[in-house]
Amino acid sequence: MFLRTRIKRFNALSRAEGKHMAAKGVIGLKEWIEKEGVQTVSKVLRVDESTVRHWRRGWVLPKATQMQKIVAITKGAVSYASMIETHLAPSNKKNRFRG
């Protein structure tokens, strides 16, 4: 019961934060990758294209150092919160709580 309440509260906060970030001009990792292209992102960050595809689909998160580079390259347009939110989004079937 406690865990279910915590997850519901997290999902509600994520949706509210997402609306706030959209109004602020912050984009998600997925949108940034789609805008720039998988090949471009993989060359800039010096990672394999399959790794970038996994990030885009929300299967894995970039490493902390890669997150820092992404935030620096985009000048804050992609934030740490938006990257983590993409990974933990309720629509991602792999991470959905089934209670």
The rounded Cα 76 to chain-centroid distance in angstroms is: 13
CA-to-CA dists, residue 10 to 15, 20, 55, 88, 89, angstroms? 9, 15, 21, 10, 10
Q: Give residue limits of the domains in the chain.
A: 2-92
What is the predicted pLDDT for the residue at 9? 55
Please check whether residue 85 is in contact with residue 10, taking contact to mean a CB–CB distance below 8 angstroms: no
The pTM of this model reads: 0.65
Q: What is the pLDDT along the chain (99 residues), one digit of tens a residue?
A: 555 555 555 555 445 545 544 555 688 899 999 999 999 999 999 999 999 999 998 889 999 999 999 999 999 999 988 888 767 766 555 555 554
Q: Would you give the DSSP letter of residue 78?
A: S
